[in-house]
Structure 1
Amino acid sequence: MAEEKDPPAAKRSGTRESILFLLGGVAVAVLVHVFALQSFYIPSESMENTLLINDRVLVNKLAYRFGDVDRGDIVVFKGWTGEDTIKRVIAKGGDTVRCCDARNRITVNGTPLDEQGGYVYPGASPSDGRFDVRVPAGRLWLMGDHRDDSQDSRSFVDDGHEGTISEDDVIGRAFVRYWPLSRGSFLSPPATFSAIH
């Protein structure tokens, strides 16, 4: 009976290195997912046409660790019902957000937002209801881009927080739409928000 030979040391070492490399890659991917980036899919029409049903976005979970949430950002957050929700930040703590001025525009701190022909769904009005809210410190007023089909801050104005959500409930900023590939693009705040003081 032939004596079995041990595999060469180089082969054993190569296998061990491959396994360690694979485990290291998995560990890095898990750490990135937990602490830095996360993929989200769009479940509803509320952000059309910016985001369509089944679009996929990447969310930067570190975006606000060292800076403030910006008006115009698209954020994922723990919503009013406790579910992960995606909307656009319209106003933040200290802002006064109103609907609507004489030309039917939403205003933030008296500055009208130029939303038509931009990110708001074509043909949708800025809001089907009136509101006048001073956003509390540390909180955000959020709205979907498809205003006629979005359950957002306007729907919860009687919740004791005037429809706002806490900045602590923000998971991160959606910064790129990566799927489908044909619609891939970066998600930047619209220029109209830069005029707000």
Structure 2
Amino acid sequence: MDTDAQLSERDRSPEPAEGEEQGSRSARISGDSPDEPAERAAGRSERLSFAAVGQWLTGGGPLRRAGLLLTACMIFLLLVSSYLVQPFLIPSRSMENTFQVGDRVLVNKLAYRFGGEPRRGDVVVFDGTDSFIQGRPPENPVAALVREGASAVGLMRPAETDYIKRVVGVGGDRVRCCDQRGRLEVNGRPVIEDYLHPGDTPSEVPFDIVVPEGKLWVMGDHRSDSRDSRDHLGEPGGGTVPVDRVIGRADWIGWPLGRMTSVKRPEAFARVPEPGQGPGHGGSPHG
């Protein structure tokens, strides 16, 4: 019997042996699983997807790249203006000469976010809904979306409900105008307001009010051309603005370049005593 011939014949068989030992010896040694080709295919597909996205982002010519860059810049600016610093276009003369019409003021949205509160002399941007404006005025949704996006980067005037004024009194303060020399008083202390528009008096309308806790008494620097807390004394809220409606503090003028500067708190209120401590704080205030 030709054993070698039989072994040679068996070795040339193309069919693997059945049973536990079936399959290629190289497959058993390497430990490959039947699912590995599918995993490799999935990996290749993922790499191809990333490559396609990368090619789409970098390809398409200069116009597509410019459009993508512009979109990325707009998204970045919107995020910054929503949470950090928002440009605010000055729409009126009510804050002259501190701000001029057309100035872009940079509003610090973090100024009061971590426990701080507005102080006397701060210039703040706030939502005047239900204090300066009773109810939100109607607006076309598409126009509102365009305006919000453009105003967020300082290209359009803000919403009709947004105001910029100077804080004159905080919760508990008694604000009165005027003393015998025509000066504004806060907690019985006269305030020398050197930031007023030249030729303006502190107020042509007399008033005497104690600011409720959690509220602000605000006035424009151009007193003869400003609709502020004085104009809303007889309305709900008595002309005061809730602290939680403050959007942020105006800390810088960012545009035009010739007017770039920081906005500092004036020294006018440095000697004002705390509520209840001033010589003229007592008595019954009136509007």
Q: For this structure pair, what is the TM-score category when the shorter chain's length is used for normalisation? A: 0.7 to 0.9
Other-structure match for 1:39: 87
Looking at structure 1, the residues matched to 236 and 244 of structure 2 have their Cα atoms a distance apart, in angstroms, of: 17
The answer on 1:72 being equivalent to 2:150 is no
Matching residue within 27, 51, 57 for 2:99: 51
Unaligned runs of 5+ residues in structure 2 are 1-50, 60-64, 137-160, 274-287
Q: Which structure shows the bigger proportion of residues in strand conformation?
A: 1
Q: 1:26 to 1:47 in 2, by over 3 A?
A: closer
**1:91 is matched by which residue type in structure 2?**
G
Please give the alpha-carbon distance, in whole angstroms, between the structure 2 residues aligned to 1:133 and 1:65: 28
Does structure 2 retain, via aligned residues, the 8 Å contact 1:98–1:131? yes
Q: CA, structure 1 residues 35+102, in 2 after alignment: closer, same or farther (shift >3 Å)?
A: same
Within 2, Cα distance between the matches of 1:51 and 1:27? 28
Quote the Cα distance in structure 1 between the aligned partners of 2:219 and 2:167.
Answer: 7
2:176 alignment counterpart: 98
> Once the two structures are superposed, what CA deviation does each residue of 1:61-99 show, in whole Å capped at 9, x if it has no partner?
111112111110111111212511100000010100000
RCO higher in 1 or 2 (8 Å CA, sep ≥ 6)? 1
> Counterparts of 2:231 and 2:74 in 1: how far apart (Å)?
41
Please, which moves more after superposition, 140-149 or 76-85?
76-85
Residues 173 and 12 of structure 1: CA distance in aligned 2, closer, same or farther (over 3 Å): same
> Where do 5+ consecutive residues of structure 1 fail to align?
1-8
Per-residue CA deviations over 1:144-186 (Å, capped at 9, x if unaligned) read 0000000000000111322101011111000001111111111
1:15 maps onto 2:58 in alignment: yes
The residue identity in structure 1 corresponding to 2:102 is N
DSSP-derived class of the 2:270 partner: helix
- The reply on whether 1:110 has 2:188 as its aligned counterpart is yes
| Contact 1:133-1:162 at 8 Å conserved across structures | no
1:141-160 alignment, distance < 5 Å: 141-160=217-236
Residue type matched to 2:163 in 1? T
Percent of aligned positions with the same letter in both sequences?
49
The 1:14/1:168 distance shift into structure 2, 3 A limit, reads closer
Secondary structure of the 2:106 match is: strand
Could you say if the C-alpha distance between residues 99 and 26 of structure 1 is closer, same or farther in structure 2, counting changes exceeding 3 Å?
Answer: same
Rg (Cα) greater in structure: 2
Q: Which has the higher helix share?
A: 2
RMSD (Å), alpha carbons: 2.2
Of residues 166-175 and 28-37 in structure 1, the stretch that sits farther from structure 2 once superposed is 28-37
**CA distance in 2 between partners of 1:29 and 1:147 (Å):** 34
- Matched to 2:98, the amino acid is T
TM-score (norm: length of structure 2) = 0.60
